[in-house]
Structure 1
Amino acid sequence: MKRLIQFILMTLLGLILSRGLQALPSAADQHLAISDQHSALSNQHSALSTQHSALSTQHSAISNSEQNATVSKTQQQPASTKPYLLLKTGKDYYDAGQYSKAAGKLQQAAQAYQATGDILNQVQALCLLSLANQQLGELAQAQAAIDSSLLLLETLSRGGEGVWAQVLNTKGRLQLLQGKADAALETWKDAEVRYAKANDSLGVLGSQINQAQAMQYLGLYGRAKTLLTEVKQTLLAQQDCSVKAIGLYNLGNVLREGGNLEESKQTLETLTESCTVEPGIKSPESQSQALLSLGNTEGALAKRAKDRNNDKEFQEHIQEAITHYQQAAATTTSPITKIQAQLNHLNLLIIKKKEDKQQDKQQDKQQDKQQDKMAQYLCQQIQTLLTKLPLSRASVYAQVNFAQTLILIRNGELRTQIPRQIRNSQYIVQLLTTAIKQGQTLEDQRAESYGLGILGHCFEETKDWSNAIKFTKLALWIAQEINAPDIAYQWQWQIGRILKAQAQQATTTSNSDTKAVTELIDYAIAYYTQASNTL
C-alpha cells in the first residue's frame, strides 16, 4: 500500500511538472504552446536584450575606424584570415543560428585580434564567442570567454565603456542561465552604468529590462513591475524610432513572461501601431515580429481564461491571436517567421477544437468546416516551407515543433481532416530523424536533445515502449552532458511517464509478472524524483 501511495504521489508530481516551466513544447500536455516555447523558432525570442545590444548596436567591432586601426597589420594577410572579416563571418553565422560555426570563427577572430594587439576588438570577439557557447549549452567555455574578456578590459587605462557594458550584459545572461539571478541582477546594474557613460540609450534600456527579468526570477514582482513601467514611459518618449521599437518589443515579451498580460498586450499594440505610422520603425519585418509577439500574448490570455473556465474570454482571445498570426504570416519576409506564425495558428485550431468538444458546444457547421480546411492548408504550407529553410537551429526547431503538432493532430479531433501521408507515424519519425541529423551537423546538442526527446514521445504515443525509452534516454543523456536542467527534467519526467504506462499496461494482462511491474513502478518513481530534484 505504501508503494502504491508513493506511485500515486509521483504521478501527481508528474502532472504538476507537466504544467511547470516549459523550455520545450510538450505535446503530451496539449497546452497552449504558443508563447516562448514556439518562439525558439525565431532569433528574436529572447527578452534579454543582450543579443540585440551585442550583435546590433555594438557594431563598432567592425566599424571603419577600427578596421583602419588594424589594416596596416593585416593588409598582407589573405582576406579569409583578416580579423574583422573573421568577426563578421562569426556574427553572420550567429545570426543564422549556426552557433557551432559561429564559435569557430569567433575563436579565430579573437586569436587574430590578439596577434595584432587590438584589445577592444579581441574582447568583442570573445564576448560574442561566449554568446555562441551559451546557445550551444557549453557554459564552461562561455564562462572562460567572459573571464578572458574582463581580464583584458582591466588592462585598459581608460575608454571602452561600451565594450565593458557589452561584456557585462553577456555575463549577466550567462549568470541567469546558471541560475544565479541575484548575481545577474547586480551585473546588469553595472552594465546600465557603463551604457550610460557610453551614451548608449538602447543599452541602458536593455539593461533595465534585463534587471526586471532577473527580479521576476527572484520573485520581486513589485520591483520588476515598477521598473518596467518606468522603462515603458521612457520608451514612449524616445525620439530614436529604432530604440523605441526594440525596447517595446523586448518589454512586451518580458511583461508576458512575468504574467503581466494586459500590460504586455498594450505595449505590443503600441508597437504594432508604430510599425504602421512611424517611418523609423515602419517595415514589414518589424510589423510581423510585433504581430507574432502580440499573438503570443493573446494566446497566453486565452490560456488564462481557459484555466478560469471563462469560455467567452477564451474564444475572444483565441480569435484575436489567430488574427495576429495570420497578419504576421502575411506581412513577413522571413520564411522562419512565417512558419512560426502558422505553427502557432495551427496549434490554436487544435486547442479550440478540443475545448469545443469538451464543452460539448454545437459549432456552426460552416465555421467548423472552414477551420478544418484552414488546418489542412496550414499543414501543407508548413510542410512545403520546411524544405526551403536554410540549415540552422531555427529550422531544426521548426521541424520538431511541426512533428509535435502532428502527434497532437494524429490523436485528436482534426485527424480525419489532415492528409494521412502528413499525419502518419512514418512521416513524423522521418521529420524528427531529419531534425536530429541536422542538429548533429550543426553540432548543436541542445537541438539534438530536443529532437530525440520528441522522437521518444512519438514512440510513446504508439506504445512502442522500447524505442520510447531508448530515444528519451539519449535525449536526457545529452541534456545532462551540456548541463541543461531546463530540458533534462522534461525527459526525466517523460521516462517516468512511459514507465508508469508500461506498468499499467502490464497489470491488465492475465499473466502479468508482479516483480516486473514492481520494478517498473520503482523506476518510474526514481525518474519522477529526479525530475523534481532537477526542477
Structure 2
Amino acid sequence: MLPPAAADAESLEIAAQVQDIEARLLLSQGQAESAAVTWEAVVIAYEQSGDLSLAQQAQLSQAQALQSAGFYRRSVDLLTALTTRLSAQPPSELSVRAALSLGEAFRLTGALAEAETQFQTSLQGAESLSLADLASAVYLNLGNLTRLQTESSRGQAADYYQQAITRAASPWFRIQAQLAQLDWWIAEAHWQDAYHLVSVLWEEIATLPLNPTNVYAQIELVEHLQAIRQATLTTLIDLAIANFDGLADTAWTAFVSQTFAAEPDSLRSSYADSQSIPEQSLWTALDRQFLPLADMATRLATLRRTAQALGNAQAEATILGALGNLYEQVEDWDAAAQVTQAGLVLAQSYNLVQVTYGLQAQLGRIQLAQGDRSAAISAYQASVQTLQVMRADVVAVSSEAQYSFQKSIEPIYRELATLLLEEGNEGTSADNLKHVLGEDIL
C-alpha cells in the first residue's frame, strides 16, 4: 500500500493526465481559450505532485494555446518565466520549443529584435541537439520575421524558407515550410514559381493523415490556388483588352465576359477558336495547367467531413466560406449564398468573430451580385459591427495582427461606404459615414 503522500501524488498525476487529454481535445476542436484554462489546471496538478518536468511541458502547451486564442501578452509572460527557468538547466527539446514559442509571441506583439534573439537561441539548441524538424521550424519563423523588417532584408525570407524545406526531416514540417514559401511567391508575384509549388503541394498534402493542422493547411492551399487563378484570369483579360484596343464593341464585350467567366477548359477552347488573341507564354501556360474548380470543391467537401468528424466548428465554417468563394468564381450566386450562409450560422453559433466578419462581408458581396442591395448593405453593416468588437483586442496586442487586420478590413469598409453613398439617403453624409465606419477608417 502506498504512503498517503505517494498516493496523493499518484492521484494528482492521473488527474493531470486526464485533463491534458481534455485540453488537447479542446484545442483540436478550435477551442483554444478553453484548452489554455484546462492546461493551467494541469500545470498546478503536476506541480503539486512534484513532477516539475511535466508541469513545464504543460505550461508550454498552455502558452501556445493562449497564442492561438489571441492572448499574446499573457503568452509572452508565461513563456518568459518558463524560458528563464529552463535556461538554468541543460539544453533540451523543451527549452528549444519554449524559445521558439517565445520568439513567435514576441513577433506577434511587434518586438522584432527580441523575437530574433529567441529564434537564434532556439536554432542554436536545435542544432546542438540534432533536432532537424525544430531547426526547420525556426528557419520558417525567421523567414516570417524577415518579411516584417526592412525592405532591403525582405529578400532573405526566400533563403530562410528554402533552409526550412531543406532541413525538415518529416513530411509535415517540409510542407509547412513549402506553404510559407508559396505565400512568399504569391506576395512577390512570382507566379510561375508559385504555380509549380502549389501543384506539388496539392498532391503531397493529400497523402498526410487528416488532423486539425492538416485541415487548416489544406484550406490555406486552396486559398492560395484561388489567388493564383484569379491573378491568371485577370492578367489574361488585361492582355486581351490591350491587344483589342479600340475594338471593344458589343460582340467583343460579350466574348470577353463569356470567355473569362468560364472554367479553364472552356477558356482554353475559346483561345483555340480565336486566331486573333496572341499567345502569352506565362499566363496561358499557367491557365493550361490550372486545376479545375471542381477538384478544389471536391477537396473542400472532403475537408468539411473531416472537420465535422473532429468537431472543429471553426475549421468547418472556414471551409464553407472557401467553398462559397468557389461558387462566386463561377457566378453560381444561389449556391454561393447558401453555402456562405451556412458557414456564417455556424461561426456565429460558436462566437467565432474572426471567421464571422469575413463571411458576413462575403455574403454581402454575393447579395450585391444577386441585385439585392438592401440585403447586401445589411450584411456589410453586420460585418463592420463584428469588426468593431474585434478592434480593441487587435489594437491592444499585436502589431503584426494590426497590419493584417487593417489590410483585410479596408475593402469591407470601402464597399459599404460606396453602397451607402450610391443609395443617396439621408444617412450618407460624411458625419454619418464616419459614425457607421469608424473615425479612423475615413
Alignment pair present for 1:263 and 2:180: no
Q: Closer, same or farther in 2 for the Cα pair 1:155/1:283, shift >3 Å? A: closer
Question: Does structure 1 retain, via aligned residues, the 8 Å contact 2:297–2:326?
Answer: no
**In the superposition, relative to structure 1, how do residues 271 and 86 fare at CA in structure 2: closer, same or farther (>3 Å)?**
same
CA contact (8 A) 2:353 2:390 kept: no
Equivalence map 1:113-152=2 (5 Å): 113-152=46-85
| 1:234 shift after superposition | 4.6
In structure 2, what is the equivalent of residue 334 of structure 1? 307
| Letter in structure 2 aligned against 1:128 | S
Is the contact between residue 339 and residue 385 of structure 1 (CA under 8 Å) also seen in structure 2? yes
- C-alpha displacement at 1:334, in angstroms? 2.9
CA distance in 2, matches of 1:307, 1:97: 35
Partner of 2:95: 164
TM-score scaled to structure 2, two decimals?
A: 0.68
**Sequence identity (%):** 10
Match of 1:410 in 2: 367
Q: Kindly report which structure 2 residues correspond to 1:18-417, keeping only aligned pairs within 5 A, or say none.
A: 74-77=9-12, 79=14, 82-156=15-89, 158-159=90-91, 161-218=92-149, 219=151, 220-235=153-168, 238=169, 240-253=170-183, 255-256=185-186, 259-274=189-204, 281-283=207-209, 292-305=219-232, 308=235, 309-310=238-239, 313=283, 316=287, 320=291, 322-332=293-303, 333-335=306-308, 340-351=318-329, 353=331, 372=332, 375-377=333-335, 379-380=337-338, 400-413=357-370
Distance 1:258 1:190, change over 3 A: farther
User: In structure 2, what is the Cα distance between the partners aligned to 1:340 and 1:380?
Assistant: 14
How far apart are residue 198 of structure 1 and its match?
3.0
> Of 444, 454, 458, which residue of structure 1 is paired with 2:378?
458
Note closer, same or farther for the CA distance 1:389–1:531 as it changes in structure 2 (3 Å cut).
Answer: closer
SS at match of 2:147: helix
Give, in whole Å, the separation in 2 of the partners of 1:291 and 1:114: 38
For residues 531 and 149 of structure 1, do their structure 2 counterparts lie closer, same or farther at Cα, with a shift above 3 Å needed? farther
Local SS of the residue matching 1:189: helix
Equivalent position of 1:485 in the other structure: 402
TM (norm. structure 1) is 0.57
Cα distance per residue 1:444-483 (max 9 Å; x no partner): xxxxxxxxxxxxx73656xxxxx89866644434544566
- In structure 2, what is the Cα distance between the partners aligned to 1:298 and 1:194? 36
* AA in 2 matched with 1:296: E
* Kept in 1: contact 2:64–2:101 (CA 8 A): yes
**Distance verdict in 2 for CA 1:293–1:385, change over 3 Å:** closer
Q: Which amino acid aligns with 1:118?
A: D
SS at the partner of 1:147? Answer: helix
Change (3 A) 1:294 1:246: closer
Q: 1:320 to 1:118 in 2, by over 3 A?
A: same
* Whole-angstrom distance in 1 between the partners of 2:25 and 2:129: 25
Q: Deviations over 1:150-181 (max 9, x none)?
A: 1221342x24x211111111111111111233
**8 Å Cα contact 2:380-2:416 kept in structure 1:** yes
Q: Aligned partners of 2:226, 2:294: CA distance in 1, in Å?
A: 11
**How far apart, CA to CA, are the structure 1 residues paired with 2:385 and 2:166?**
52
**Alignment partners' CA distance in 2, 1:304 and 1:192:** 37
Q: Give 3-state SS (helix, strand or coil) of 1:107's partner.
A: helix
Distance 1:234 1:468 in 2: 42
- Flag the structure with more relative contact order, 1 or 2, with Cα contacts below 8 A and sequence separation at least 6: 1
1:516-535 maps to which residues of 2 (within 5 A)?
A: 519=431, 527=439, 530-531=440-441
After superposition, the Cα gap between the structure-2 partners of 1:191 and 1:72, relative to the gap in structure 1 and judged at 3 Å, is farther
Superposed displacement of residue 523, structure 1: 7.2
Structure 2 equivalent of residue 445 of structure 1: none
Q: Deviation at 1:195?
A: 1.9
Residues 519 and 399 of structure 1: is their aligned pair in 2 closer, same or farther, counting only changes over 3 Å? closer
Aligned equivalents of 2:216 and 2:393: distance in 1? 32
The offset of 1:257, in angstroms, is 5.1
Counterpart amino acid of 1:410? Q
Query: Is the alpha carbon distance of 1:386 and 1:404 closer, same or farther for their aligned partners in structure 2, counting shifts above 3 Å?
Result: closer
Residue 161 of structure 2 contacts residue 181 of structure 2 at CA under 8 Å; is this kept in 1? yes
Determine helix, strand or coil for the equivalent of 2:124: helix
* Local SS of the residue matching 1:411: helix
1:402-481 → structure 2 map (5 Å cutoff): 402-413=359-370, 425=375, 458=378, 473-480=388-395
Kindly provide the amino acid, as one letter, of the partner of residue 195 in structure 2. K
Distance 1:491 1:273 in 2: 33
- Alpha carbons 1:292, 1:324 under 8 Å: kept: no
Instruction: Give the C-alpha shift of residue 128 in structure 1.
Output: 2.0
